[in-house]
A = this chain, B = another copy of it.
Amino acid sequence: MAARAGVGLKTVSRVVNGEPGVTPDTERRVQEAIEALGFRRNDSARVLRKGRTASIGLVLEDLADPFYGPLSRAVEEVARAHGALLINGSSAEDPEREQELALALCARRVDGLVVIPAGDDHRYLEPEIRAGVATVFVDRPAGRIDADVVLSDNYGGARGGVAHLIAHGHRRIGFIGDMPRIHTAAERLRGYRAAMEDAGIAVEERWMSLGATNPERVRRATEEMLSGADPVTAIFAGNNRVTVTVIRVLAEQSRPVALVGFDDIELADLLQPGVTVVAQDAAALGRTAAERLFRQLDGTLLAPERIELPTRLVTRGSGELPPAV
């Protein structure tokens, strides 16, 4: 490479990186050689030498979920603004896979890591963090480790949503959520209980159903709450997956059942009735986390913080239905 241009190795390096101190004439000669020989810089070697990879990792649950797409995109935008690439992987809600992925990313020497936890113990990241890998957790808190966390106000959002149903006259309100080991699910359930308690309503066991969010289970849970002697008159759906299935089941019912869902859904406004939701801003979640990550990297070393983003109640009709007699 250098030989072909008849210059020293370092000069080539200078040209490639646009560093100063090269005569226009030499530069041209080097450029020619680059073209002719088809030179392609090897960033692996560069990384090895410089210590920074200009890439960050994102471990999330499922890239195909409409909630994580925008989040991921927001992280990518911030990374791009900082000249970094994004490597991402899906944990599929499996703690082991989360760890495996996160450590693989660290072995690649990503500069930082944004993690949407599947597990509840992140001590395995301690050596990495000590070694300088910036780390931020999003959507759910880190487990057994002190780190930056960016969350939505799951508790407050759910509490507000359920209070909204109560304000519209409901007392028998069902809650269908994700597996209780998932932090967001637990928090939303807590919000549900709080709103009910605020209204002096004693919650019955059969009004609550936590578990996998696959359509079959959610359908069964919904149907059970709607049958029997004193069926619920309203349902609070714990996330977007649940909401979609509950909508399907409610559409088959003869009497109207009120519904408020956590997470916004596309076309929710066009259904009959429109679906009232507690919306969280997935993009803001991602953006905030990524910005925090790069601030860690900038050396503005700040103490780990817990940032909570507000949710927003969007009324569209389904949450304002009165209890059916």
A residues with a Cβ closer than 8 A to B are: 38, 40-45, 47-48, 53, 55, 62-66, 68-70, 72-73, 76, 80, 85-90, 104-109, 127-128, 130-131, 244, 247-248, 251, 265-268, 270-272, 283
Complex Cα distance, B89 from A53, in Å, reads 16
Q: Are A66 and B270 in contact (CB under 8 A)?
A: no
B38, A42: Cβ atoms closer than 8 Å: no
Contacts of A270 in B (CB 8 A): 247-248, 251, 271
Which B residue sits closest to A42, measured CB to CB?
Answer: B109
Q: How far is the CB of A48 from chain B (nearest CB, A)?
A: 5
Complex Cα gap A247–B43 (Å): 48
CB distance from A44 to the nearest CB of B (A): 4
- How many angstroms between the C-alpha atoms of A72 and B251 in the bound complex? 32
A244 to B45, CA, bound (A): 47
A176 to chain B, nearest CB (A): 18
Q: In the assembled complex, how far is the CB of residue A55 from the closest CB belonging to chain B, in whole angstroms? A: 7
- Taking a contact as CB atoms under 8 Å apart, the answer to whether B88 and A88 are in contact is yes
Residues in B whose Cβ lies below 8 Å from that of A109: 42-44
A64 touches B53 (CB 8 A): no
**Most central of A38, A247, A251 by chain B CB within 10 Å:** A38
Cβ contact within 8 Å between A43 and B244: no
A107 interface neighbour in B41, B48, B248, B265, Cβ under 8 Å? B41
A85-B87, A270-B271 known; A40-B73 Cβ under 8 A = no
Shortest beta-carbon distance, A186 to chain B, in Å? 26
**Min CB distance, A180 to chain B, in Å?**
26
Bound Cα distance A68, B76 (Å): 15
Contacts of A45 in B (CB 8 A): 48
A129 smallest CB distance to B (angstroms) = 11
The residue that A38 contacts in the complex, of B130, B247, B251, with Cβ under 8 A, is B130
**Nearest 5 pairs between A and B by C-beta?**
A64-B73, A64-B70, A69-B69, A44-B47, A63-B73
- Give chain B residues whose Cβ lies under 8 Å from the Cβ of A43: 107-109
Give chain B nearest CB distance to A132 CB in angstroms: 11
Q: How far is the CB of A89 from chain B (nearest CB, A)?
A: 6
Q: Who on chain B is nearest to A127 by CB?
A: B38
CB distance from A239 to the nearest CB of B (A): 14
Q: Report if A76-B90 is in contact (Cβ < 8 Å); known contacts: A66-B69, A109-B43.
A: yes
Given contacts A41-B107, A42-B107, A85-B108, 13 further A-B contacts (CB under 8 A): A38-B131, A40-B127, A40-B128, A44-B47, A44-B109, A55-B87, A55-B108, A64-B73, A68-B69, A86-B88, A86-B89, A247-B267, A265-B266
